[in-house]
Structure 1
Amino acid sequence: MSSSPALTKPAPTSQVPASAVGKQKPYPFWLGGVAATIAASITHPLDLTKVRLQASGDKRMLESIKKTVRTAGIRGLFDGISGTWMRQMSYSMCRFWAYEESKKYLGATGKDVPAWKLGLAGSMAGGIAGFVGNPGEIVMVRLQGDFAKPPEKRFNYKHCFDALFRMVREEGPSSLARGVGPNVFRAILMNASQLASYDFFKSELLKTKYFEDNIICHFTASFAAGTVATTVCSPADVLKSRIMNASGPGSSSTIGAIRTAIASEGPTFMFKGWVPAWMRLQPTTILIFLTLEQLKNLVDYGRGKGFEWF
């Protein structure tokens, strides 16, 4: 199985000096973070709704969106966007970098790479990124879920850095590790299911007579990968949101959160917010890959023009 062209696309020879052909300079490690930040900014209202469904008593996606607009206006749909940016420039930047490095380590950078190697590389990247990006994940979840709470229970953070500093000051440095277990587990599942399944579906589609290596194929593969990733990650995602939104001693226990939720809502709580999660992940997956492709084209163009600082 071949690896994703969005992650390992060689530069066009017409844009790169002849001496560079065959030994392409690696792309900047931060490209994935920038692409993810752009995509997440566009889909932020859906992500906000997903978190509020998971962490609050809201029952339906449209009702939650209407409630947000009614209480905070259209701007309310972008509450906590600074937390989203912090999360993407930590977690997402790390996962794209770690994925490429993991593929190199596993010898999974050529053509016809076995699916298990891609899945393992995605799992390794997810484990690293989930740990590194945990503080940004907490900040994002708290900023997004704050206005869904009663006024007396809100954190009232001004922005992502205020949230980070106040957490350390008021709850101690250990608060930055709240929910790290479910977060790392979810990150492993996400990267393994999303990246590996995208490569699998794309490879299978190209074997048919109906698809060529173009945007239609990429869209279809992303759609299928997004559905798989949403379903696989939903239980860990719900637990992560509830634990990170909690405060006070004894409130960060994963087992305790599971027992409480099952007792009051039943086991189906693990898939609460699946629809908005799916609706967010589909466009996000497509936007990330398309944006990353364009950023890489921009780097290739800049290098072709002599801007070697790219």
Structure 2
Amino acid sequence: MSTVKQSAQAATTSDVVGTAKSATAETVTAATDFLHTPAVRAALPFTNGGLSGMVATTVIQPIDMIKVRIQLAGEGKAGGPKPTPLGVTRDIIASGKAMDLYTGLSAGLLRQAVYTTARIGCFDTFMGRLSARAKEKGQTVGFSERASAGLAAGGLAAMIGNPADLALIRMQSDGLKPVVERKNYKSVIDALGGIARNEGVAALWAGAAPTVVRAMALNFGQLAFFSEAKAQLKARTEWSSKTQTLSASAVAGFFASFFSLPFDFVKTRLQKQTRGLDGKLPYNGMVDCFAKVAKQEGIFRFYRGFGTYYVRIAPHAMVTLLVADYLGWLTK
């Protein structure tokens, strides 16, 4: 009788365990099947790109704030002040509080949710199609194709994300104005609404030309050189995947900074400007801004703050690409 009972209990336990394992396996399979549906596979590069960009922006927002303040210092003067990153940081903290370094974070996150979602998503989509086409022909994707994918992805994303980028610059530069002239934006929505009401909806695309060119230059330097550097390191070294990713992103950060900083400088000046008492703007567009800055402040002014800009771009690239790689691994 005891043996019969034990056998029954064992059978029952076995059934329960088997059922639990089966249910777990079905759950995992369902989750895997969901991740591999065509719609989800198409959306994942964009979702992963946006999330990785938002994480990176949260990390480097104080550096971006300092970079903008350095670019706006000494506007219209050949000599002018030559602020240092430490000096700017000290001034910001002395005039308010440490959290002022995170001014415009909501705009930065919105920008990443729009801009990085589009640029990394488009780049991954373009590269996927290029890789498939190359594989059919028994070839590999070349640097020129990587560069074209980076340029196209950057330009498209910049046009979509320009309003959030404009709001970010306005929020970060607001503290430089006299107290009576400050807008004291409460959030990115407040900034976007105020700009649209006071200056017109079209004003949300102020500085769009240098923003697009900057994004194309930055993506050419970042995504194309990252993709190429990682491919070269994979072929020529025995380094771990994580080391290859870090090294390639550092290389990409340098080239992204070098190619894009002049356009980033002009973009900042154009997006910060407002009409004077005479109703005129200081600059009449990208070319006019380049010409006036070169004449009044010198050609090297475009590369002022290169170190700060690199420190802003390289870690952002590293964090973005590492998080994107990790999310890609999780959802493969």
TM-score interval, normalised by the smaller of the two chains: 0.7 to 0.9
Matched, 1:292 2:324: yes
- Which structure shows the higher helix fraction? 2
Instruction: Kindly state the Cα deviation for residue 203 of structure 1 after the two structures are TM-superposed.
Output: 2.1
Task: Return the structure number with greater relative CO, CA threshold 8 A, min gap 6.
Answer: 1
Matched, 1:42 2:59: yes
Amino acid at match of 2:69: R
Amino acid at match of 2:145: K
Q: 1:85 is matched with which residue: 92, 95, 109?
A: 109
Q: For residues 60-111 of structure 1, give each alpha carbon's deviation from its aligned partner in whole angstroms, at most 9, with x where no partner exists.
A: 1111111111112111111111110111111111112221333355456766
Q: Aligned partners of 1:25 and 1:254: how far apart in 2? A: 39
Superposed counterparts of 1:30-179, under 5 Å: 30-57=47-74, 59-104=83-128, 106=130, 112-179=140-207
Amino acid at match of 2:281: G
The equivalent residue for 1:217 is 244
Matched, 1:194 2:202: no
The equivalent residue for 1:272 is 304
Q: Aligned partners of 2:180 and 2:219: how far apart in 1? A: 37
Matched, 1:250 2:274: no
Structure 1 residues 171 and 279: alpha-carbon distance in aligned structure 2, compared to 1, 3 A threshold = same
The equivalent residue for 2:17 is none
User: Does the CA contact (< 8 Å) of 2:130 and 2:141 recur in 1?
Assistant: no
Q: Aligned partners of 2:127 and 2:319: how far apart in 1? A: 23
Instruction: Kindly state the Cα deviation for residue 140 of structure 1 after the two structures are TM-superposed.
Output: 0.9
Structure 1 residues 35 and 153: alpha-carbon distance in aligned structure 2, compared to 1, 3 A threshold = same
Q: For residues 27-65 of structure 1, give each alpha carbon's deviation from its aligned partner in whole angstroms, at most 9, with x where no partner exists.
A: 522221111001111110001111111123462111111
Which one has a bigger Cα radius of gyration? 2
Q: Which has the larger displacement, 109-118 or 82-91?
A: 109-118
Q: Aligned partners of 1:290 and 1:106: how far apart in 2? A: 22
Q: Aligned partners of 1:33 and 1:136: how far apart in 2? A: 14
Q: Normalising to structure 1: TM-score of the pair?
A: 0.84
Q: Aligned partners of 1:77 and 1:110: how far apart in 2? A: 46
Q: Aligned partners of 2:205 and 2:189: how far apart in 1? A: 16
Identity, % of aligned positions? 27
User: Does the CA contact (< 8 Å) of 1:27 and 1:296 recur in 2?
Assistant: no
Q: Aligned partners of 1:204 and 1:162: how far apart in 2? A: 46
Q: Aligned partners of 1:261 and 1:280: how far apart in 2? A: 23
Structure 1, unpaired ranges of 5+: 1-12, 301-310
How many residues align? The count is 285
Q: Aligned partners of 1:250 and 1:102: how far apart in 2? A: 39
Amino acid at match of 2:186: K
Instruction: Kindly state the Cα deviation for residue 128 of structure 1 after the two structures are TM-superposed.
Output: 0.6
Structure 2, unpaired ranges of 5+: 1-28, 75-81
User: Does the CA contact (< 8 Å) of 2:273 and 2:281 recur in 1?
Assistant: no
